[in-house]
Amino acid sequence: MRRTSFFQVARVGIDTGGTFTDFIAIYNQQIRSFKIPSTPDNPARAILTGLKRLLAELPSGFGLDIVHGTTVATNALLERKGARLALLTTAGFEDVLEIGRQARPDLYNLAVERPAPLVPAAFRLGVKERISSDGAILVSLDDKELQLLVKKVRQLKVESVAISLLFSFANPAHERALAAACASLNLPLSVSHQLLPEYREYERVSTVVSNAYLAPKVSRYLQDLQSGLQSLVGQSGHQLRIMQSSGGSISAHTAAQEPVRTILSGPAGGVVAATRVAALAGFTNFITFDMGGTSTDVALCRGSAYTTNEAKVTGLPIAVPVLDIHTVGAGGGSIATVDVGGALRVGPESAGANPGPACYGIGTQATVTDANVVLGRFGGGGLLSGAMSLDQGRAERAIDELAKQMSAASRKKVTRTDAALGVVRVANANMERALRLVSIERGQDPRDFTLVSFGGAGGLHAVALAESLRIPRVLIPAYPGAFSALGVLLADVIKDYSKTVMLTIAAQDETRAMNHLLVKQLAQMQKVAQKELRGEGIQPPEMQFQKSLSIRYQGQSFELEVQFAGNLTQAISLFHQTHLERYGHSNVSAPLEIVSARLRGIGLTQKPELKASRKQNRASKPSSEAIVRLARKAQRVAVYTRESLPVGCTFSAPALIVEYGSTTLLPPGWIARVDAWKNLLLSIA
């Protein structure tokens, strides 16, 4: 990796959440972790505040190697606060973005309202040109029309331009000419053959439009952050990379040009860290459970996380590679309300960082965190090892108001405890549905998995969810409150490339010629990857390449991705096997279609070393006791301080384990053990 001019470098992982911004720094073989409240109006402000705090603790002469998981792109899509943009596409196909796939999101809802497209009809401009599916030019571009088109785009006063022409993945000549003509506009350009040279017109247009929609805002954010970093440590005193949705990082410059790759930036870090920690602990099958202040992210992993090109964010297809993560609006800050039908609802609205839960001292609405405070599940202490106090009285008043509304709706007396327990149960039900979606609904038995729980709020709910799904054990890693920040430091630099090839194989003797063609195509992609990885500061010895093919039976609509090591016969055999595992059947005699060739370029980064401890000490003593309501009845439980628990110690429930960034609830019937990697392993007694 490219090094700064400083003689020592602190590696810093930063994850911006809806409530807190998490930092984890590694320097002089030490790990430092802390949280500060997020600043949603300008996330860079919280980051710079945290880095000032870190620099004050570091000896002089330290540079910063920063990897950042960001929610700027995610929030811009969720809130529809992106750029005013124009879409340039083949004449007659201006409405592809609005027509979509004609799939009904709610089959029996006759009054369903689809979200408005990111580009209004007046800003979707048709270009008179046509390229055939095999790349032949049928209708050439006209220079005069190009000039008129650029003039019209200028008159629209847009901030960004998306270019996606029909069959440009087969021949990008017209898109290149169009991009060259638009260069005089001095606007961010998102061009489909550069970003996503694949077939499926709707998904390609949607991805390119999303990228153009996000580019100005993400670019401004990263420029502001870079400017702030320069003021802190100087031009050569820092290096900034951004986490991608695919589980790898890229330079801030690349992220500004291709922000669509950062839509699941933060959650991806947690999955990367869980993959590493679970493997060290000896678990290959696990489900990640990341519960923060605003949302909960879950992912099922067998050895490693699944990557998909079929993700949807707020109903918009995003066809670049992303980790297969499912998100629900359930977190510590999720607001509890009584709806017009008298039912208790929790989320997806969140109190966020401002005003935050009522117990933080400003908010007035009841949240999941307030319910846990009322139930005594923070052990009588505050957050962040006491640095942030919790207002018990304010939380009680918020829950009392909710109980009053519940009583009026049900015409029965609802107590404060009943209301708080109800909030926790509803929140758990929302998160349980997410866990079921990634496991049972995909044919996976949760009993074969370990639940890896992290995030500031995860430990208070993990065991209850494991019991509901009959998951036998829960792993709470070290630094659970900043686990995603650790994950971005564990991530390599990753560059993904793809190309639609559409090759049909009807007989065995056709594989040899196609094998040569595919090897040649992937070799060309590898040359591009090598050049771009060098631009990211990666040297050849640190580069690795993974090649794969997307294959389907002829006539199918969707394909499966399998590894390709240069032998097409082996890849076909692996496809049949994968199809059998996924769908329960395969047909070795059926004709096949190779849809796309894919290459992943990996730049290996310096990673924090996670060391096992050989010291074993079975003795452990609680630091205090607390009164906790696990049900309606109050119960006295032991309170343990996580930092004081020695490796090898075992203790039984009920108990609370408190630490800087998180709190874990161990209910009756479970036992806890600290393993050699300082993970907290919870299992059924």
Region 316-339: what's the mean pLDDT? 91
Q: Does pLDDT of 1 surpass 60?
A: no
| pLDDT tens-digit map of 342-368 | 999 998 888 887 888 999 999 999 999
Three-state DSSP at 537 gives coil
CA atoms within 13 A on the CB side of 667: 14
Q: Does pLDDT of 106 surpass 70?
A: yes
CA separation for the pair 390, 378 (Å, rounded): 9
| pLDDT tens-digit map of 302-315 | 988 888 888 888 78
3-state secondary structure 462-521: HHHHHHHHCCCEEEECCCHHHHHHHHHHHCCEEEEEEEEEEEEECCHHHHHHHHHHHHHH
pLDDT of residue 452: 97
The first and second tokens of residue 29, run together, are: 């073989």
User: DSSP for 597-628?
Assistant: EEEEEEE-------------------SEEEEE
Q: Does pLDDT of 5 surpass 60?
A: no
Portion of the chain with pLDDT greater than 90, in percent: 72
CA separation for the pair 235, 417 (Å, rounded): 55
Residue limits of CATH 3.40.50 in the chain: 77-217
Region 426-451: what's the mean pLDDT? 94
| pLDDT tens-digit map of 190-206 | 999 999 999 999 999 99
Region 66-89: what's the mean pLDDT? 91
> What is the identity of the amino acid at 398?
A
Q: Does pLDDT of 550 surpass 70?
A: yes
Measured CA to CA in angstroms, residue 493 lies from 10, 194, 218 at distances of 18, 19, 19
pLDDT of residue 329: 85
CA separation for the pair 117, 482 (Å, rounded): 36
Region 452-477: what's the mean pLDDT? 96
Element (H, E) at 665: strand 663-666
Question: What pLDDT band is residue 612 in, cutting at 50, 70 and 90?
Answer: confident
What pTM does this model have? 0.90
| pLDDT tens-digit map of 586-603 | 999 999 999 999 999 999
CA separation for the pair 387, 38 (Å, rounded): 16
Region 419-432: what's the mean pLDDT? 96
The first and second tokens of residue 617, run together, are: 């000490």
CA separation for the pair 675, 672 (Å, rounded): 10
Q: Does pLDDT of 2 surpass 70?
A: no
Closest CA to 350 of 359, 340, 363: 363
pLDDT of residue 236: 62
User: DSSP for 426-467?
Assistant: HHHHHHHHHHHHHTGGGT--GGGSEEEEESTTGGGTHHHHHH
The single-letter DSSP state of residue 117 is: P
Q: Does pLDDT of 4 surpass 70?
A: no
188/557: higher pLDDT: 188
Q: What average pLDDT does the structure give for the chain?
A: 91
Please state which CATH class domain 77-217 belongs to.
alpha beta
The single-letter DSSP state of residue 68 is: E
Q: Does pLDDT of 6 surpass 70?
A: no
pLDDT of residue 3: 41
313/254: higher pLDDT: 254
